[in-house]
Structure 1
Amino acid sequence: MAALLEAERVSFTYPDGTQALQHVTLSIPEGKKIAVLGPNGAGKSTLFLHFNGILRPQEGCIYFAGARINYSHKALTDLRQQVGIVFQDPDSMLFSASVRQEISFGPLNLGLSREEVGQRVEAAMAATGITGLQDKPTHFLSYGQKKRVAIASVLAMEPRLIIFDEPTAYLDPRSTRDVMALLEDISRQGKAIILSTHDVDIAYTWADYIYVLAGGQVIGAGTPAEIFSDATLLEAAGLARPWLLDVYEDLKNKGWLPATAPVPKNKDDLLGLIPYRSRSKLAI
């Protein structure tokens, strides 16, 4: 599948001498769900800021839709319509007086008609479940509500690719499930999604493909099954195995599952592998 976005040997050092990225190469296919894992300081956020031109590589190149990124004002404006970023802290994105005004801001700056802007805003609010908040001041929203407004403001731009920097950070379990369900809905619309996360369980069950960063370098890449079966890679990146794989291995070792049982992708897959009469003895 052709790449929608590519980084080719990208390096970047901050003015204080911190080398954030070292010859990073990766490829994001159209319509796929990509997770980027790594410890704090691995370079994930810096990499994301290169993807829509906020930062410019000091070495290497970024390509979008097969073309090398052009850093002229017009070209960057066009790129940021196609590549949206939802930052970890929604307060860094929200500045308008009301939810509707916040979501309208981007489409209005595209020069669209009022009718088209209204349609986009309504669709984005419906998709994120915040239609009832449209007249509420953004500073009165809960943290989870602010997250949804930030996502809606990017959806209203109708990008082809959306980047989420730690989308579940500081959310309670219910809000985390809601956000991940929303990301799944967005993916079903055919949009490519990249997210960074420290949650290996989310990365394993959600992603089509995973990149692992450490020290500003890509130290591993592969499917979730490939990444989390590589003990050496997990140790190097300071990552744990998902609980699902630990339970799966334990059940096999105890004889609850046959040795040939396929590796489950999620909890329902795992329960489906267990004989019905044995399920009542387990508490998963």
Structure 2
Amino acid sequence: MAALLEAEAVSFTYPDGTRALQNVTLSIPEGKKIAVLGPNGAGKSTLFLHFNGILRPQEGWIYFAGARISYSHTALQQLRQQVGIVFQDPDSMLFAASVRQEISFGPLNLGLSKEEVLARVEAAMAATGVKDLGDKPTHFLSYGQKKRVAIASVLAMEPRVIIFDEPTAYLDPRSTREVMALLETISRKGTTIILSTHDVDIAYTWADYIYVLAAGQVIGAGTPAEVFRDAPLLEAADLARPWLLDVYEDLKNKGWLPLEAPVPKSRDELLALIPYRSRSRLAI
């Protein structure tokens, strides 16, 4: 599948001397769900800021849709219409007086007709479950509501790629499930999604492909099963193994699953592998 976003030998150092990225090369296929994992300071957020031109590589190149990114004002405006970022802290994104004004801001700046802007705003509000908040001041929203409005403001731009930096950080379990369900809905419509997360269980069950960063370098990549069954890689990146894989390996070791049993991607897939007579003895 053709790459929509690419980093080629990208390096970047902040003015204080922090080496954030070192010769990073990776490829994001269109329409896929990509997780970028790694400890704090690994370079994940810095990489994301390169993907939509907020930061410019000091070495190397970023490509979008096969073309090297240009950093002229017009080219960056066009890029940011296609590559949206939802930052970890929604307060860093929200500035308008009301929810509807916030979500309208991006489409209005595209020069669209009022009818098209209204249609996009209504669709984005409906998709994110904030339609009843349209006239509410953004500073009166709960943290979870602010997250949804921030996502809606990017959705209304109808980008081809949406990048989520720690989308479930500080959310309760219910809100986390709702946000991940929303990301799944967005993905099914063909939008390419990239996210960073410290939640290995989310990364394992959700992603099609994973990149692992540490100290500004890509130290591993592969399918979720490949990445999370690579013990040296997990140790190098200070990552835990998802509970689903731990249970799967334990059941195989106890003889409750055949050695050739496929690696499950979800709780339901794991339960389906267990012989019926054995399920009543398990508490998963």
TM-score by length of 1: 0.99
Q: CA deviation at 1:277?
A: 2.3
Q: Does 1:14 align with 2:14?
A: yes
Counterparts of 1:181-220 in structure 2, within 5 Å, are 181-220=181-220
Could you tell me which amino acid in structure 2 is paired with residue 130 of structure 1? V
Matches within 5 A, 1:39-118: 39-118=39-118
Aligned to 2:77, the other structure's residue is in SS state helix
1:277 paired to 2:277: yes
| In 2, Cα distance between equivalents of 1:223 and 1:26 | 14
The one-letter code sitting in structure 2 at the alignment partner of 1:55 is L
Q: Which residue of 2 aligns with 1:165?
A: 165
Deviates more, 1:254-263 or 1:31-40: 254-263
Whole-angstrom distance in 1 between the partners of 2:283 and 2:145: 33
| Secondary structure, counterpart of 2:211 in structure 1 | strand
Which digits, 9 at most, give the CA deviation of each residue in 1:72-105, with x for residues without a partner? 0000000000000000000000000110000000
> Which secondary structure does the structure 2 equivalent of 1:202 belong to?
helix
Q: CA deviation at 1:136?
A: 0.7
**Amino acid aligned to 1:13:** T
Q: Offset of 1:218 from its aligned partner? A: 0.2
CA distance in 2, matches of 1:281, 1:104: 54
User: Any stretches of 5+ residues in structure 1 without a counterpart?
Assistant: none
Distance 1:29 1:137 in 2: 38
| Moved segments of 4+, more than 3 Å | none
The answer for unaligned runs of 5 or more in structure 2 is: none
1:259 offset after TM fit, Å? Answer: 1.3
Partner of 1:228: 228
Query: What is the match of residue 264 of structure 1?
Result: 264
Matched, 1:129 2:101: no
User: Residues 199-249 of structure 1, C-alpha deviation per residue, up to 9 Å, x if partnerless?
Assistant: 111111000000000000000011111101111100100001100000001
Partner Cα distance (2:68, 2:12) in 1? 17
C-alpha distance in structure 1 between counterparts of 2:222 and 2:174, whole Å: 29
CA distance in 2, matches of 1:5, 1:182: 22
Report the Cα distance in structure 2 between the residues aligned to 1:138 and 1:167, rounded to whole angstroms. Answer: 18
Please give the secondary structure, in 2, of the residue aligned with 1:4: strand
**CA displacement at 1:252 relative to structure 2:** 1.1
SS in 2 for 1:240: coil
TM-score by length of 2: 0.99
CA drift at 1:254: 1.4
Distance, in Å, in 2 between the alignment partners of 1:208 and 1:40 is 23
Deviation at 1:256, TM superposition (A): 1.5
RMSD: 0.6
Return the alpha-carbon distance in structure 1 between the equivalents of residues 117 and 167 of structure 2: 26
Partner secondary structure for residue 283 of structure 2:
coil
Give the fraction of aligned pairs with identical amino acids, expressed as a percent. 88
Q: Tell me the secondary structure at the aligned position of residue 20 of structure 1.
A: strand
One-letter identity of the residue aligned with 1:153: S
